[in-house]
Structure 1
Amino acid sequence: MSLQLDSLVTDLIFQASAAIDQKTLIDGLGGQEGLEGKQLLDIDRLDPRAEMELSPSMPFRRRGERRLMIIDEHAITPRPDPQADSWIRSDLRPAKEALISTCQKLPVRLGRLFALGSWGDAVIVGRSVRDLRAICLIPWALDPQVDVDGKRRQTPLSQKEFESKILAYEKRLEELDDQQIIGGLTGVSFERRGDLVVVSVLEADGTWDQRKSLAMETQLAAVDRFSMLPGAPAQPRSTERPTKSMRPPTDRGATKAEAAKPAAAPKAEPASQPKPEPKGPPLVAHDVDGKVVLVFPAERFDLDVAAALGKRDWDQIVRRSDNLSGALRDRIHRDGASWIAPLEFLSEVFIDGKPLTKADFEKSASAANDGIRSMDVHFPRFGPVTLLEIAGKGRFVTSLDSAERAAQLVP
């Protein structure tokens, strides 16, 4: 079967429980007249690798869900160079209405309109807002260099990391409710048709700027709103929080005239500027037995950094100004890192639930060679660490097990 680029594709994914006879299917697709001159492509008869190249549907499509494409070579006037020209100037409004009609008549879980050979959808029709987001998360799920948190690596994920991301796909769908998903749409048409939800980027005249499809996909996927733990509710944006106070008024002496006064218009807040990267000396990274060890200068270490280390939130720790290669950053994101940091006061760490005193340290610390003394302590917001006192250099805390090895890395 020959397929022409820029052919209009009506893509239908049927519900797993659907049992449709041929007559019902043909009637739902517009009858014999509506199918005249079009090709029907049963995706499940293709090699799975062919579907991945044509238009992947996993992990969105579940077991037992059939997929059918109706390909129309005449609906779109082919562009000489689709890569250079993002605008499809044919009127696709009839195709949109036909798709909605088909989804209303048949047990379709999700329907889409797209152009063969180009990424992005002109119209998506579903029975739930969640499914609209789910189909747009496929690029994140299948990208071999984007991790479970939506961050792009410079090297491919390991097999284990990729499998973990696929397992997190369904959990990511639980993080936003319908209103949060819809509220993130700008420049996209959203409407409800009975039990269907429809999003579209077609212009008023039915033409299609494919650049808007990429924007719609990004907005629906909302990767930037991923929770730290897959499946946990996403933090609401300021625009999603209630704007009216829930407390009763406390000023009972206000007159009716005062109460009738219109509220003053809120002052427009200036647009937020990108937060500049904090200043400070760079981290130093060492490779110790195949493990990355980060050495913090005093200016770069505090309780917030300790908390980020405990959460493995490396984006809050490693800055652009740190002289770390892309491969090394990927290793840190993939495998984690140990660390060493200076400690100013003994009371910053705890032993048996109490701040460490000098007397306790003198009594319990273990002595090693080269003037090194160490002790196992608890560091707030991180957990168990080793406290070091190195003659001539000061005190340090480290996640390394070996005090001697840590002391060798202290500048």
Structure 2
Amino acid sequence: MSLQLDTLVTDLMFQASAAIDQKTLIDGLGGPESLENKQLLDVDRLDPRAEMELSPSMPFRRRGERRLMILDEVAITPRPDPQADPLIKTDLRPYKETLITTCAALPIRLGRLFALGSWGDAVLVARSVRDLRGIALLPYALDPQVDVDGKRRSTPLSQKEFEAKLMAFEKRLEELDDEQIIAGLHGITFERRGDLVIVDVLEEDGTWDQRKSMLLEQQLAQVERFSMIPGAPSAPVAPAKPNGSGVTAKAAAVKAPVAEPAKAAPKPKGPPLDARMIEGKIVLVFPAERFDLDVAAALGKRDWEHVIRSSDKLTGEMRDTLQRDGATWIAPLEFLSEVFVEGKPLTKPEFEKTSTTDDGVRSLEVHFPRFGPVTLLEIAGKGRFVTSIDDIKRAATLVP
């Protein structure tokens, strides 16, 4: 089955207790007419590694819960370069309503609307607010450098640590109640319809700015509110008090406490980015400490605020060019298994067998999770890198 970038995906995860026949399923999906010119993908028939590349669902999806994707290649006009253009200009409101109708008619645990090849969701439909948070916590659960407390490390977790984090996933979902999760949503559309809860990031005209999907993910996940002990109720956010201390204005006038000097905000970790202007285009050279899956996702959405810091080596002109035209990039890669080829993590024998070598640079086209197609480079004496730069020889000259 060929899959085209920007294909609109209606992703349905069924309840474990769901037992429906084919007629009921087809009727719940809108009837045979609504499925014309669409592909149905039974995810459970795929190699689990292929699902990880396409759209991971574990550990959110439990044993016995089936998953079905409906692929519509004509709903969205494909963008020439999805990585450089975060805006899907199709009115997705009718597709949102269809998703809601389907979730109401069938025993669906979670329904999603997203575009193939892009990270993030335009619409989420569930029967519990907890499940909305659960799907948003998947990146935390699967990131090999984020520990059980949600803190990023400079090196990957050990297998034991990673397994402990996965074991704590369900407990993390118990820390916030529905009201606490909903209270964390800002700039996001939230509504209830019957027993369904719905969130989306669509604009008023139904278009989708994919950069808002990262905001949705962060606000639902609320990793910053993790309890010290997984599963323990999260401490409520303290309400604002008068004068910031609970002291009335009259009492404060009598004896104003001496304010402590404000503590300087902690400096962001990692060295500054090296940015180059080459033939009128920006190229970002990442050090290892500044590149991870979150940054890759931000690059894919052109969410430069999550990539660039004020301390990075970009002039005002370069920053303007970045916002207008985007950038290409190159970053170090530690493990071959972090990239995929044909739905499978890349192995060293496969890389050596299928890659090409030119002037000491071995290269292979691969898929990088949360970003998309990139080129994997192995440069003699320098290590391995992934890059969005088309010119392999030029890319190789950029790394120190």
The TM-score, its normalising length taken from structure 2, stands at 0.61
Letter in 1 for 2:229: L
Alpha-carbon distance, 1:239 to partner: 3.7
Aligned to 1:111: 111
How much has 1:79 moved relative to structure 2?
Answer: 0.6
* C-alpha distance in 1 between matches for 2:37 and 2:79: 20
Q: Relative contact order, CA 8 A, sep 6+: which one is greater?
A: 2
Give the C-alpha shift of residue 274 in structure 1: 7.5
CA drift of 1:276 comes to: 1.4
Match of 1:5 in 2: 5
Aligned match of 2:73: 73
**In structure 1, C-alpha distance between the alignment counterparts of 2:236 and 2:79, rounded to whole Å:** 42
Query: Structure 1 residues 277 and 182 mapped into 2: Cα distance closer, same or farther (>3 Å)?
Result: closer
Quote the offset at 1:275 in angstroms. 3.4
Give the C-alpha shift of residue 115 in structure 1.
0.3
- Counterpart of 1:121 in 2: which secondary structure? coil
Give distance in 2, aligned partners of 1:240 and 1:166. 35
Describe the shift of the 1:26–1:277 C-alpha distance in structure 2 as closer, same or farther (beyond 3 A). closer
Match in the other structure for 2:148? 148
On the 8 A contact 1:180/1:240 being kept in 2, the answer is no
Whole-Å Cα distance in 2 between the matches of residues 72 and 32 of structure 1?
14
Residue matched to 2:212: 212
1:130-209 superposed matches below 5 A: 130-209=130-209
- Once the two structures are TM-superposed, the CA of residue 240 in structure 1 deviates from its matched residue by 9.1
Partner of residue 236, structure 1: 236
Rounded Cα–Cα distance in structure 1 between residues aligned with 2:20 and 2:239? 44
Residue identity opposite 2:67 in structure 1: R
Letter in 1 for 2:82: P
Q: Which residue of 1 aligns with 2:263?
A: 275
Deviation at 1:232, TM superposition (A): 0.8
In structure 2, distance between residues paired with 1:72 and 1:37: 7
**Contact (CA 8 Å) 1:39, 1:72: kept in 2 or not?**
yes
Secondary structure class of the residue paired with 2:211: helix
CA–CA separation in structure 1 for the residues paired with 2:77 and 2:265: 49
5+ residue gaps, structure 2, are: 242-249, 251-260, 267-400
Could you tell me how far 1:133 is from its partner in structure 2? Answer: 0.2
- Counterpart of 1:44? 44
Letter in 1 for 2:95: A
Q: Secondary structure at the match of 1:114?
A: strand
CA gap 1:127/1:142 in 2 versus in 1, 3 angstroms: same
Question: What is the deviation of 1:230?
Answer: 0.6
Gaps of 5+ in 1: 242-263, 265-272, 279-411
Amino acid at match of 2:26: I
How far did residue 207 of structure 1 move? 0.1
Identity of aligned residues (%): 77
Provide the aligned C-alpha RMSD in A.
Answer: 1.8
Distance in 2 (alpha carbons) for counterparts of 1:69 and 1:277: 45
Post-superposition Cα deviations, 1:72-98, rounded to whole Å, max 9, x if no partner, equal: 001111111111111000000000000
Identify if the C-alpha distance between structure 1 residues 53 and 240 changes in structure 2 by more than 3 Å, giving closer, same or farther. farther
Give 1:175 deviation, angstroms.
0.5
TM-score, normalised via structure 1 length: 0.59
SS at the partner of 1:205?
coil
Encode CA deviations 1:362-387: one digit per residue, 9 max, x unaligned: xxxxxxxxxxxxxxxxxxxxxxxxxx
Question: Aligned equivalents of 1:157 and 1:173: distance in 2?
Answer: 21
Q: Which aligned runs of 4 or more in structure 1 are off by greater than 3 angstroms? A: none
Residue pairs, 1:266-345, within 5 angstroms: 275-276=263-264
Distance apart, 1:277 and its partner CA: 6.0
Distance 1:193 1:274 in 2: 46
How far is 1:238 from its partner?
2.1
